[in-house]
Amino acid sequence: MMQARGDKAPPDRFKIDPYPCGTIPTMSIHVMSEQLASQIAAGEVVERPFSVVKELVENAIDAGATNISIDVREGGRKMIQIADNGEGIAAQEIETAFLRHATSKLYTADDLNDIRTLGFRGEALAAIAAVSQLTIVSRSAEDTGGTRLVMDAGHKRSRETVGAPQGTVIAVENLFYNMPARLKFLKSVTTEKRLIDEFVTRYALAYADIRFRLTHNGRITFQSSGNGSLLDVLVAVYGPENGRQLLPIGGADSAGTGQRPDGRIAIPVSGYVGPPSMHWANRNHITLFVNGRWIKDNSLNYAVIQAYHTLLPTGRYPMGIVFFNVPTEEIDVNVHPAKTEVRFRDRNAIFSAVQRAVRQTLVADSPIRSLGAWETPSYGEGAASSWAGKLDHAAFTRREGDSQTKLELDWSHQPSGTQPAALPPQPADLGGGQLPIMRVVGQVGTAYIITEGPEGIFLIDQHAAHERILYEQFMADWDGEAVISQGLVAGAVAHLSPPQATLLEEYLDLLTRIGFQIEPFGPNAFMVRAIPAILAKRDPVQGLLSVLEELEREDTPMQAKIEDKIITRVCKTAAVKAGQTLTLVEMEAMIRQLESCRSPHTCPHGRPTLIHLSVAQLARQFGRT
C-alpha cells in the first residue's frame, strides 16, 4: 500500500540503533599515527603473499638483476625470500629505502610522463615492512661490505655490517601477523602458491634473459635458463608438447615503431600464440605485456580472442603471450598502486594492432600446417570441424537379451559394418521410466538423433545425452565405491605448468579415488599410470588436462561438491561429440540407456538433452489446423 504524500513514515521496527542511549559520541579530528597510516596504505599495495613477490621481483628487475631466486614457505604466510644479483642498496640509503614514498626512480612530476621502470611509487618496501617481520641484506658495488637491517612492523630492530655479495636478499616473515583481519581472509596455501607460480612464470616469459628459480617449501617448482630464448621458457612453463605447437607472432605492426601511413603510431607486437587446436576453458592463458610490464586488460584480451573468430569452439579460449611496446607518453601506468592497470591514449590503435598481428599469424600458418598437427586431441570436448581434422567414429555394442544396453566407445575407427563384441554383465538398472518408448529415425547434422515417439518426434543432442548416461553410471559406481580404473601398459607423461602442478598436488587424493593413478616424474611432470575406465579409449594426458582445466575454474560456489565437478568433467571428456556419425545400432543403444536414466531430460551441466515436437505442433506448422 502506497504512503500518502505528507503522511509520517512509520517507524522502522527492524532498524538497529548503534547508539541506544540516543547520544552520538563526538571525536576530535586528528592526524593518524605514522604506523596506522602505513598499515592502511599497505592494504592497497600488499593484498596477499603474491603481492609481496610481485613488488620484490619487480624491484630486482629494475635493479638490473640477471639471477632471481624466490623461496616461499607455506604459500608465503610463513616466509618469502627474494634474492638477486642486482645493483644492491648503498649502506647509507638502506633505512631511507623503507620510508614511505622513498624511490630512486622519480625526481620531478615530469618523470611521470616517461616511466621506464616497473616500480616508481616508492610504496612497496614501506608497505611490506609495516605488515611483517623483515630482514634485508644488501651490498652495492661501491661498498666493501653488506648491510643487514632487521625490521618489525616497520620499526628498525637492528643494523649491522656483514659479508655479502653484490645484490639484495629480502626475507619477509609472518606476513600480516599484526593484521589478523587481513590474515583471516587469505585464501588456502595452495591458492596462494598458484598465484605466485603464475606471476613468476609470466615474468620469466617477459624477461627470458633473467634466470628465475622458484621453490616452495624447499622444492624447486620452476626455473628458467636465462639464456634469452623465449621459446625455451615457454617449454619450461607449458611443456615440450605444447611448446612445439606455439606460433611466433609476426605481423605488419611487429616490424618496429614509427608513423603509419594513416598518421597513427605503429605498435610493434611480438610473442607466441597457440594454434586453434589448443584451446582452454578460461581466459587465464592469455598474458599481456606492455613495455615489459604485465597488465590486466579485458579489452586487449578480447582483441586476442577476436583474432580467433570462427576458429574455436563456443566457450573455448586461446593461449597467447603477447608483447607490445608503446611510447611512454602514450601510456599512463600510474592508475593503481598494484600497477597492473594502465590507460592508453589511443586504445583503439593498440586493440587493432594486437588483433591484426595475432590474426595474421593464424592465417599465415593455416595453409602450410600439416593435417596431422591439427589432429592432435585438444584440451576439451573437441575442436571446430574446420580445424579438428579427421573426426573419431564411435562404435557402440549391445548384449542381446539384457534389459539394458551398454554404450561403449571404440576409438579405433572401426568401419560401420563391424560386428559388435559381447559385453560383460551389466550393472543394475539405474531407474527411469521418465521417457516414452522411442524409435530411432536417423541423425541430422552429425549432432542430433531424430526419434519418433507416441506423441510426435524428439530431437536428441547426442553429446548431452551421452554425458547424462555416463554421469549416472559413474555416480552409481562412485556411491558403491566401485569406480573402475584402466591401467596403462607404458604410462603417459604429462608436462604441466607450475600452477597446474600445484593444483594437481592439491587434488591428488581425490583424483586417485576417481580412478586416476598419478606419480611425480620430475619437475612439473607426472606419470599417468591409470585412468578412469570410461576414459580408456581417450588420450590419458588429455583426459587429465581436461580435469585440471575444470579445477582451474573458480566460479563454483559449492566447493564441497568438487568430486561431482570432476566427475562431470570426466564424463564430458568421455562422451561422444557433436560431429561424429553414428550408426543405427549406436543410436538405438544410446536411446535405450537414456530411457533408463533418472534425469534424462538434462545433461549434468543443466543443458537439455532432447526437444519434443508434438504432432499438434507439426500440424500447425503445415497449416493443418
Q: Is the pLDDT confidence value at 329 over 50?
A: yes
State the pLDDT at residue 364.
77
Average pLDDT, the chain: 76
Q: Please, are residues 323 and 289 in contact by the beta-carbon 8 Å criterion?
A: yes
The whole-angstrom separation of Cα 584 and Cα 229 is: 54
What is the rounded CA–CA span in Å between residue 5 and residue 10?
13
- 3 phi/psi in degrees, rounded to 5: -85, 135
- Confirm whether 284 is domain-assigned: yes
- Can you tell me the mean pLDDT for 114-138? 80
8 A C-beta contact, residue 381 and residue 463? yes
Torsion sign across C-alpha atoms 558, 561, 564, 569: positive
* Residue 340 within a domain: yes
Strands 146-152 and 155-162, sheet pairing:
antiparallel
Does residue 336 register a pLDDT over 50?
A: yes
Q: Are 452 and 484 found together in one domain?
A: yes
**Domain containing 320 — which CATH number?**
3.30.230.10
Other Cβ atoms less than 10 A from the Cβ of 184: the count is 8
* 619 membership: H or E segment, kind and range: helix 615-621
Residues 45, 119, single domain; the answer is yes
216 and 252 fall within a common domain: no
Do residue 211 and residue 276 come from a single domain? no
Assess whether 284 and 208 both reside in one domain. no
Tell me what pLDDT residue 391 has.
28
pLDDT number for residue 539: 82
So what's the pLDDT on residue 166? 93
User: Does any domain span residue 430?
Assistant: no
Q: How many Å separate Cα 164 from the centre of its chain?
A: 39
DSSP state of 576: P
Q: Are 343 and 462 part of one and the same domain?
A: no
Distance from C-alpha of 481 to C-alpha of 497, rounded to nearest angstrom: 32
Whether 19 is in a domain gets the answer no
Q: Which three cell numbers stand for residue 50?
A: 603474491
Whether 542 maps to a domain, the answer reads yes
Examine the pLDDT at 16 and tell me if it is beyond 50. no
Q: Decide if pLDDT at 200 tops 90.
A: yes
Task: Write the CATH number for 466.
Answer: 3.30.1370.100
DSSP letter for 559, please.
G
pLDDT at 35 over 80: no
Residues 292 and 143 in one domain: no
- Specify if 387 maps to a domain: no
Q: Examine the domain organization and report whether 66 and 209 are in the same domain.
A: yes
Taking the CA atoms of 599, 479, 548 and 538 in sequence, report the sign of the dihedral they define: negative
Looking at this protein, which amino acid is placed at residue 377? Answer: P
Domain total in the chain: 3
Ranges 70-79, 256-265, 375-384: which has the least confidence: 375-384
For the ranges 105-109, 160-164, 294-298, 345-349, the lowest mean pLDDT is seen at 105-109
**Over the range 215-249, which residues count as b (16 or more CB within 10 Å of their CB) and which as e?**
bbeeeebbbbebeeebeebbbbbbbeebbebbbeb
Within 8 A by CB and 6+ apart from 603, the residues are 461, 463, 464, 465, 467, 468, 471, 609
Domain boundary among 328, 347, 377: 377
- Kindly state whether residue 9 falls inside one of the protein's structural domains: no
pLDDT at 58 exceeding the cut of 70: yes
- 448 has a pLDDT exceeding 60: yes
Q: What are phi and psi of 101, to 5 degrees?
A: 65, 25
- Smallest CA-to-CA distance from 487 within 520, 519, 532 is with 532
Asked if 84 and 117 sit in the same domain, the reply is yes
**575-624 pLDDT per residue, tens:** 888 878 888 888 888 888 888 888 888 888 777 888 888 888 888 888 87
In a domain, 25, yes or no: no
Least confident of 17-31, 296-310, 457-471, 526-540: 17-31
Domain termination site, one of 377, 399, 429? 377
Q: Specify the amino acid at residue 234.
A: L
Domain boundary among 360, 377, 394: 377
H-helix or E-strand containing 198?
A: helix 189-206
Domain extent, residue 255, equals 240-377
Residue 113: its pLDDT value, please? 61
Q: How far apart are CA 216 and CA 193, in angstroms?
A: 8
| Chain CA centroid to CA 485, Å | 28
391-415 burial, b at 16+ Cβ within 10 Å, e below that, comes to: bbbbbbbbeeeeebbbbbbbeeeee
The arithmetic mean of pLDDT across residues 504-511, rounded, is 84
The residue-averaged pLDDT of 521-546 equals 83
Handedness of CA 407, 409, 414, 419 (dihedral sign): negative
* Secondary structure of 214-271 as H, E, C letters: EEECCEEEEECCCCCCHHHHHHHHHCHHHHHHCEECCCHHHCCCCECCCCCECCCEEE
**Residue 298: in which H helix or E strand, if any?**
helix 298-307
Question: Are 300 and 86 spatial neighbours (Cβ–Cβ below 8 Å)?
Answer: no
The stretch 155-163 carries a mean pLDDT of 91
- Do 208 and 280 reside in the same domain of the chain? no
* 247 & 98 share domain: no
pTM: 0.64
> For residue 146, what is the domain's CATH number?
3.30.565.10
179 and 245 belong to one structural domain: no
Which cell goes with 516? 586416476
- Identity at 167, one-letter amino acid code: G
Give, as one character, the DSSP assignment of residue 336. S
